[in-house]
Structure 1
Amino acid sequence: MHEDRIHPNLVVQSSDSVQTLRIDRPERLNALSSSMVDSLIDWARAVSFDRTLRACIITGTGRAFVAGADISEYDGVSQSGFDAYQRKSRRMFDSIAEISHPTIAAVNGYALGGGLELALSCDFMIVSETAKLGLPEVKLGLLPGGGGTQRLARLVGQARAKELIMTGRSMTAAEAVGYGAALDSVPAEILIERSGQLAALLARNAPIAVAEIKRVVADGTDCSLAAGLTLEQRALSGLFATDDATEGIQAFIEKRDAHFSGA
């Protein structure tokens, strides 16, 4: 497995067509500094254009996935400086959400504030049974500014999202699954294995089709049913013209495994 450190606190490992990003700042519970945010934006944009990849996993080192932003950087900051930081954070979360490949948040521990928002920006969330997930910004006199009020509500519904955000309480792993925020909860020792299994399943399928499914589901959420169905039909028509569709149909007829090229 090839490993690179793209930032002092960010490690990337690649194996076959799956890349794992590990947030590696355990002494600060993986709190995101401004420079880490910059590097995460660059990473997200780079992997989106990497055609050798078909899935990405994001996880953390130690007791936390990400315990939020590095609040020490807020001390003494001006209003304009705070607003600039929030705009940059928004770009990071959006960049993660817009990665063309499917993304899996392997939540190994605390996912608080921006940490939960990072996980919510991924397509799938698999959590350790001991994980704690929450948006405690209200306790600082603030609100989640990285998509927490919007992405969480779209997964768990408005009433539950408002209860969690207004109280600032943390969800257990079982609650996160039960509410629909997380896909699965597993023992900590098999979290990466389980996430890798899902990534491998996703990587076997036609990458253009997977990317289109991701796009159509996301875009269709914010429009009428009729408009969403039109998005679906247009995407299907475009996919039918791809080499991967030709291969997939032929493989089905010949009763063999398909070999998708991403074309």
Structure 2
Amino acid sequence: MTDFTFLQTQIIGNVLVVTISREAKLNAMNSLLMQELTACFRSVHDSLDVRAVVLTGKGKAFMAGADIEEYNGLDAGQFFAFQDRGREMYRSIENCAKPVVAAVNGYALGGGFELALACDLIVASTKAKFGLPEVNLGLVPGGGGLQKVSRLFGPYIAKELAMTGRFLTANEGKEWGLVNRVAEPEELLNATMALAQELAQKAPLAVQVLKKLINEGRDASLETAQAYDRAFLANLFRTEDAQEGITAFVEKREARFIGK
């Protein structure tokens, strides 16, 4: 793995742990951090050694949004270029072939909330806070989070969150279907790793296809999405992993998946 300025990476078994390390700025994203996250997730896309990724932040925040000091004073063109780098970063996670589990240890605000929303699953510390406070700057979310929140919670809750800028707690997020699991701060990484390792044991190609079908199917008609399900199922049936999984089931043993 490439050396990074603002990221720490560690491979544990088949799980890559990526820690955002810009603690003095509450892990706020600047251009370099966005570029590094993009490069990191693109590099792991085709990795045979990594089957799942855990993304977390160092210190008190997962990511406290964009580094406002960086875009203070930018002209409109420069500001939109900054936003485009953010969208590229989110897409690198959304399009990554590996399942990505966010371990939200603290503040996940603005772009940090959008970063968590780009992941596939979220495990949150009881100290986690989620929010879209851009309205307090006279702005709106620009990384796709507003539309995701609207689709997730419905328009009325999305309007309340975005128009007031209020924060969601981890338990509210769990109750509302945003957070998969809640853990005490000292158990957050262990809980997240347990989930990531569970994903890493599954058939890699099937997990990759499931991610794609769910992410893309939610914006398609039900009939179209179901047609994609059947088409990808037919392709998976021809893979070595599928034949191994079926044979292992019949032989009553654990399957040995190789990602082919």
Kindly indicate whether residue 230 of structure 2 is the aligned counterpart of residue 233 of structure 1: yes
Deviations 1:186-235 (A, max 9, x none): 10111000100001111111000000011111111011000011000001
9, 12, 15: which one pairs with 2:9?
A: 12
Counterparts of 1:69-108 in structure 2 under 5 Å? 69-108=66-105
Segments of 4+ in structure 1 off by > 3 A? none
Kindly indicate whether residue 52 of structure 2 is the aligned counterpart of residue 55 of structure 1: yes
- Distance, in Å, in 2 between the alignment partners of 1:117 and 1:79 is 22
- Distance, in Å, in 2 between the alignment partners of 1:98 and 1:52 is 18
The amino acid that maps onto 1:161 is A
1:157 Cα deviation after fit:
2.1
In structure 2, the partner of 1:132 is 129
- Distance, in Å, in 1 between the alignment partners of 2:65 and 2:3 is 20
Q: Given the two structures, how large is their TM-score scaled by the length of structure 2? A: 0.98
Match of 1:213, SS? helix
1:155 Cα deviation after fit:
2.1
- Distance, in Å, in 1 between the alignment partners of 2:86 and 2:134 is 15
In structure 1, the partner of 2:28 is 31
Kindly indicate whether residue 19 of structure 2 is the aligned counterpart of residue 22 of structure 1: yes
Number of aligned residue pairs: give it. 260
Deviations 1:119-138 (A, max 9, x none): 00000011000111101001
Deviations 1:128-149 (A, max 9, x none): 0011110100110001111111
141, 144, 148: which one pairs with 1:147?
A: 144
Maintained 8 Å contact 1:106/1:192: yes
Deviations 1:30-78 (A, max 9, x none): 1111111111111111111112211000001111110011100112111
5, 22, 41: which one pairs with 2:38?
A: 41
Match of 1:11, SS? strand
- Distance, in Å, in 2 between the alignment partners of 1:6 and 1:164 is 37
Gaps of 5+ in 1: none
Match of 1:6, SS? coil
- Distance, in Å, in 2 between the alignment partners of 1:46 and 1:189 is 30
- Distance, in Å, in 1 between the alignment partners of 2:258 and 2:39 is 26
Maintained 8 Å contact 1:164/1:170: yes
Deviations 1:169-196 (A, max 9, x none): 0001111111111111110111000100
Deviations 1:71-111 (A, max 9, x none): 00112111110011111111111111111111000000011
In structure 2, the partner of 1:199 is 196
1:158 Cα deviation after fit:
2.1
Maintained 8 Å contact 1:30/1:67: yes
Q: Given the two structures, how large is their TM-score scaled by the length of structure 1? A: 0.97
Match of 1:209, SS? helix
- Distance, in Å, in 2 between the alignment partners of 1:240 and 1:60 is 38
The amino acid that maps onto 1:201 is E
The amino acid that maps onto 2:208 is A
In structure 2, the partner of 1:160 is 157
1:5 Cα deviation after fit:
6.9
Gaps of 5+ in 2: none
Maintained 8 Å contact 2:106/2:129: yes
- Distance, in Å, in 2 between the alignment partners of 1:103 and 1:139 is 30
Deviations 1:148-173 (A, max 9, x none): 11222222222212211111000011
- Percent sequence identity is 45
Maintained 8 Å contact 2:6/2:36: no
Maintained 8 Å contact 1:11/1:23: yes
